[in-house]
Structure 1
Amino acid sequence: MTYDRALPRAERLRMPWARDVALEVAKQYGVCIRPVALKRIDLQTGQSEIIDVPCGATREAVCPPCAKRNRQLRMAQCREGWHLDHEPAITPDEPNDEQRWLIEFRADMQARRDAAEQAGEDTTDLDAVLSGLDDEINAAGMRGNVLGRTTPKRTRSTRRRQDAPDLPRRKMASTTLGRTFTSSDGKVYRPSLFVTLTLPSYGKIRDGVPIDPDTYDYARAVRDALHFSKLVDRFVQNLRRVAGYDVQYFASVEPQKRLAPHLHMAIRGTLPRAEIKQIAAATYHQVWWPPAERVVFDGEHLPVWDDQTGYIDPATGEVLPTWDEALDQLDTDETTEPLHVIRFGTQVDVQGVLAGTPDADQCIRYLSKYLTKSLGESLDTDHQARRDHAARLAEALRFEPCSPTCANWLRYGIQPKDAKAGMTPGRCRGKAHKPEHLGYAGRRVLVSRKWSNKTLAEHKQDRRTWVLEALGQADQPPDPHRYAWKPFPAGDANVPPLAVRLLRTVAERQRWRAHMAQLEARAAGQDLSAVREEAA
């Protein structure tokens, strides 16, 4: 049906916009709906072309095709690493000429800087050069700081030693593989674990909402959410001590119905369920931060920034203690208690899983189920009581310090770490304070270093290679020195409209799908003429 102005107005208004239909078709074919247009210039021929680079979003609300692709990538990563039967061999690459030159150049600049310092000359410019070189060293594919640790590690009293519970300890073995079991018929089984850990109760809950909001411990709930990632780190450390080998894991952090984070973890190898529950019960994390109970500055009475000294008290003119000074004071007072202690709740679920079983596939889907959504998207917006619960949680989080650099430390009379002008308590821009994150600022997917013996980029390349081979196209690595990439300025007239670019990519995907259908039909021995008709 063509657009006709003679149609009744109500009927015309019901007709969808062509652009919206193009977006829906793009989603159907797995095409990124927010591509970044880049100009690729061939330095050998001088020719240029427009290349649409997928946005790579991980949230479905931003770009469903990219989010789905990332979820499938994570599922492949989880599946490949869960039941490995051989040790992952991770050996560093040999340094290339560029990396060697950077290190040599940095050595020369460091020598110049040291000589200038001994001569009493100003080293500001040389320090800036060295800082830039360190960034270039990391960008060139080298890890860490060439000088190692440049600041001394803060030490505390042994009475404040964290996470040393009375747990069984086995002698560490140099392996990442768990035990195997052989049945009477000679078949070897390599079981693994699927573990779910939750936080404790903060009050009675019904349908995800506190029965009595006045008695619900929102203050503890938000602090537990803020430091949940540290508790997970402690659990992994204790798990490896008890297991006696380098336990590898793939975990995802998801929100419960009550909006508290909890953890689903796939673990390579197996331990008795009683030991897993014992480890979870004994694991805790102490937050040794300055006190944050007594409000020093509030309302209109706020600290004032001074370019020379930092934040000062406007009434007395005294300089607020810096973050390091506040920690030094904390370390010298042996009577001080930690700001917060976080533990897991009593609900610990442990399941044994075998490779290649329906249970393993179901666990992998469960691990990746909510990866395309933010933590806050689990909130039922049609449920008024749940909206009120989320609002109370956000209010409790508003003035809670989320990190050493949080602006909320000014409220308690302390300069945040790396303080700068313009900081205001209650307006921290940290990830944890955004409503969609519900106080959790850590990574949603936690993967150990030796899980699948591949990086996420390598998993992505594997999928790309498989597709190109199926399409009969050789995946030749491009020459990095042949092309130059430049972004287009906003509103550039040389960039076609988004709908045109989407339709071009959709047409390309249609050709791919038709070719894949022919290959599948050939493998199944079907009549290709029918397949071509359907693809056309």
Structure 2
Amino acid sequence: MTIAVLSAGLPDDATLRELAAAKGVCVRPILQHVTDTLTGASKTVVIACGATRAKVCPSCADTARRLRIQQCREGWHLTEDPPKPDPDDPDPTDDRGDDGGDQTDEHDENDGRRVRSTRRRQDAPDLPRLAVSDRTTGRVFETPDGKVYRPSMFVTLTLPSYGRVTGEGVPVDPRSYDYRRAALDAMHFPKLVDRFWQNLRRSTGYSVQYFATVEPQRRLAPHLHAAIRGAIPRKLLRQVVAATYHQVWWPQLDEPVYTDPDTLPVWDELALAYADPQTGAVLPTWDEALDALDDDPDAQPAHVIRAGTQVDIQGVIAGTPLADRVIGYLTKYLTKSITDPLHDDDSDGDAPVSAARRAHIDRIADEVQWLPCAPTCANWLRYGIQPKDAKGGMEPGRCGSKAHDRDHLGLGGRRVLVSRRWTGKTLDQHRADRAAVVRAVLAEAGVEMDDHDELSATATTPDGRPRFVWTVTHPGDVDGPSYARLISHAIAQKQRWRAQYEDAKTRAGPAALELSATAQPAATPAA
């Protein structure tokens, strides 16, 4: 549908949503009404929603995926160490550093956590322990004919089996499938991944850097795809996987104390604590429950999570077709939820969900709904323990963590894990890099971009007050644009900008091609 067709008449909202998705326009934009306190002028500003799931907004999700593709490509085969990031950098990453030392397992993942130090488990193989250098780049190999290679790796880690499954990923025998362990493994998978990187750095002696994504297998257990900078001996890597585990030192989760929804612990306003509904006795606090665990010489962890025996390892050389294919594979499912149906690369759409698969999802969802996800989880009330920082109104089965959502099935952590020195840049800086390329191409062609800082939230009036006042509005509000008018305008604007950019590249010639090549995403699978 062209601009001319849009101006001739507005289609219905559903049709416009499909068209917006096809043109890369946000389908659920956020509207802000901006008033200039100096001039009195006001206008409505459209802001993309920024969703990362295609079911919410296909356009914003694809934009986020392309940004991750750029981030992955830029850091994978670096030949020099990137600068160390600012320790006060607000951009979150999963690389928390590693200084060696004994195996430790955390009681509490929050700041000020209590840590239980233990020896390595007797059933876990020993690992070499080297001083970790500051180097982040891999080894260089030179062939007899003088060619130099700096290979990197693509590694996939899985979780253990919980029972035999069919090709569709559903259990052959649901009654014997270990759903409880599957749910606990999903909830604590991020901690296992952290432990893996720590062990890998200690065993290799350098600061291994990675770009990793967490995706669902067909059986819906999470697994990790990781681009690793540098080449690590496969034997050592498999040894690290086999030796990696994480112990969860929480109160035992075998038998809930309160299972009847009519007799759950109640909030005592005087004691500011939860109490037994029959006796009125105040339940043990979280710290008291951990004290009892520390005092018990025979205490065992509530759960131990290990990696599975299946490990896929590939060597990858920069600039090869394999490198682009792997980057596409790494980011392939980032726009999907854990429970979205997986499909083959040659499929035109999502495969239908069978009754057996729906039942499989239901069973996992039921487990993660009632298991505690963190010390602050309301589900601890079922086990006769007050959650950490307990407050009135908490109810088992209604924890606000996304780990309990059906769309996540226990995996409450991030789907993209990037070490702090992968590129030395935050995601916002990568986003700025892409915008800078567009600006440079337009400037090369003599085209001046709109001033995107003209409504800056940091602009002030002479007396120091904010110059622009922002208020939220919604499509269809009084004196506001309708959804159809708003999306039609956004589509027309997108087409106009795209035409200007393509024209600018043509006019600028080879210089523009060289600039724009730096912002092109890697080749991705058709799916």
- Offset of residue 381 of structure 1: 4.7
Partner of 1:166: 126
Partner of 1:473: 448
Distance 1:468 1:451 in 2: 25
Partner of 1:432: 403
Distance 2:386 2:502 in 1: 63
What amino acid sits opposite 2:278 in the alignment? A
Query: Contact conserved, 1:255 with 1:378, CA < 8 A, in 2?
Result: no
Map of 1:146-185 to 2, 5 A cutoff?
154-156=114-116, 158-159=118-119, 166-185=126-145
Residue by residue over 1:70-96, the C-alpha shift from the partner in whole angstroms, topping out at 9 and shown as x without a partner, is: 000000000000011111113649x9x
Distance 1:179 1:426 in 2: 50
Confirm whether residue 516 of structure 1 aligns to residue 477 of structure 2.
no
- Offset of residue 31 of structure 1: 1.2
Distance 1:288 1:393 in 2: 23
Map of 1:332-347 to 2, 5 A cutoff?
332-347=295-310
- Offset of residue 187 of structure 1: 2.4
Confirm whether residue 224 of structure 1 aligns to residue 181 of structure 2.
no
Deviates more, 1:269-278 or 1:417-426: 417-426
Give the one of 471, 476, 480 matched to 1:487.
471
Partner of 1:112: none
Query: Contact conserved, 2:16 with 2:488, CA < 8 A, in 1?
Result: yes
Query: Contact conserved, 1:163 with 1:283, CA < 8 A, in 2?
Result: no
Deviates more, 1:278-287 or 1:411-420: 411-420
Confirm whether residue 52 of structure 1 aligns to residue 30 of structure 2.
no
Query: Contact conserved, 1:465 with 1:475, CA < 8 A, in 2?
Result: no
Residue by residue over 1:365-411, the C-alpha shift from the partner in whole angstroms, topping out at 9 and shown as x without a partner, is: 01100000111113655311111111111222232111111111111
Distance 1:475 1:192 in 2: 41
Give the one of 37, 44, 56 matched to 2:31.
37
Deviates more, 1:375-384 or 1:476-485: 476-485
Give the one of 69, 80, 83 matched to 1:86.
80
Distance 2:129 2:51 in 1: 42
Partner of 1:107: none
Partner of 1:306: 268
Identity %: 54
Confirm whether residue 349 of structure 1 aligns to residue 312 of structure 2.
yes
Q: Which runs of 5+ in 2 are unaligned?
A: 1-9, 97-109, 343-350, 461-466, 511-527
Query: Contact conserved, 1:73 with 1:460, CA < 8 A, in 2?
Result: yes
Map of 1:330-409 to 2, 5 A cutoff?
330-378=293-341, 381-409=352-380
Partner of 1:502: 487
Distance 1:328 1:280 in 2: 32
Change (3 A) 1:485 1:178: farther
TM normalised by structure 1 equals 0.80
Distance 2:370 2:86 in 1: 44
Change (3 A) 1:417 1:204: same
Confirm whether residue 322 of structure 1 aligns to residue 293 of structure 2.
no
Change (3 A) 1:138 1:193: closer
Distance 1:232 1:163 in 2: 19
Map of 1:280-299 to 2, 5 A cutoff?
280-299=241-260
Deviates more, 1:430-439 or 1:479-488: 479-488
Between the two proteins, the alignment pairs up a number of residues equal to 460
Deviates more, 1:498-507 or 1:243-252: 498-507
Q: Secondary structure at the match of 2:213?
A: strand
- Offset of residue 185 of structure 1: 2.8
Residue by residue over 1:177-203, the C-alpha shift from the partner in whole angstroms, topping out at 9 and shown as x without a partner, is: 111111223222111110000000011
Map of 1:204-243 to 2, 5 A cutoff?
204-207=164-167, 208-243=169-204
Query: Contact conserved, 1:60 with 1:373, CA < 8 A, in 2?
Result: yes
Q: Secondary structure at the match of 2:340?
A: helix
Deviates more, 1:342-351 or 1:26-35: 26-35
- Offset of residue 18 of structure 1: 3.0
- Offset of residue 455 of structure 1: 0.6
Change (3 A) 1:226 1:315: same
Distance 2:230 2:285 in 1: 46
Change (3 A) 1:229 1:509: same
- Offset of residue 243 of structure 1: 1.3
Map of 1:437-476 to 2, 5 A cutoff?
437-471=408-442, 472-473=447-448
Partner of 1:76: 70
What amino acid sits opposite 2:24 in the alignment? G
Query: Contact conserved, 1:469 with 1:475, CA < 8 A, in 2?
Result: no
Q: Secondary structure at the match of 1:513?
A: helix
Confirm whether residue 196 of structure 1 aligns to residue 196 of structure 2.
no
Q: Secondary structure at the match of 2:40?
A: coil
Q: Secondary structure at the match of 1:436?
A: coil
- Offset of residue 276 of structure 1: 0.7
Query: Contact conserved, 1:303 with 1:314, CA < 8 A, in 2?
Result: yes
Change (3 A) 1:160 1:86: closer
Change (3 A) 1:61 1:507: same
Change (3 A) 1:40 1:161: farther
What amino acid sits opposite 2:459 in the alignment? H
Residue by residue over 1:211-241, the C-alpha shift from the partner in whole angstroms, topping out at 9 and shown as x without a partner, is: 1111111111111111000000000000100
Distance 2:238 2:117 in 1: 29
- Offset of residue 45 of structure 1: 3.3
Say which structure is richer in helix.
Answer: 1
- Offset of residue 62 of structure 1: 0.6
Q: Which runs of 5+ in 1 are unaligned?
A: 1-15, 96-136, 145-149, 526-536
Distance 2:481 2:275 in 1: 54
Deviates more, 1:382-391 or 1:262-271: 382-391
Query: Contact conserved, 2:30 with 2:48, CA < 8 A, in 1?
Result: yes
- Offset of residue 515 of structure 1: 2.1
What amino acid sits opposite 1:409 in the alignment? W
What amino acid sits opposite 2:468 in the alignment? A
Change (3 A) 1:279 1:222: same
Query: Contact conserved, 2:275 with 2:281, CA < 8 A, in 1?
Result: yes
Give the root-mean-square deviation of aligned CA atoms: 2.7
Q: Secondary structure at the match of 1:52?
A: strand
Distance 1:470 1:57 in 2: 28
What amino acid sits opposite 1:246 in the alignment? S
TM normalised by structure 2 equals 0.82
Residue by residue over 1:134-184, the C-alpha shift from the partner in whole angstroms, topping out at 9 and shown as x without a partner, is: xxx989xxxx9xxxxx98652435458899851123332221111111122
What amino acid sits opposite 1:22 in the alignment? L
Distance 1:263 1:453 in 2: 22
Distance 2:86 2:245 in 1: 34
Query: Contact conserved, 1:194 with 1:267, CA < 8 A, in 2?
Result: yes
Change (3 A) 1:206 1:91: closer
Query: Contact conserved, 2:85 with 2:420, CA < 8 A, in 1?
Result: no
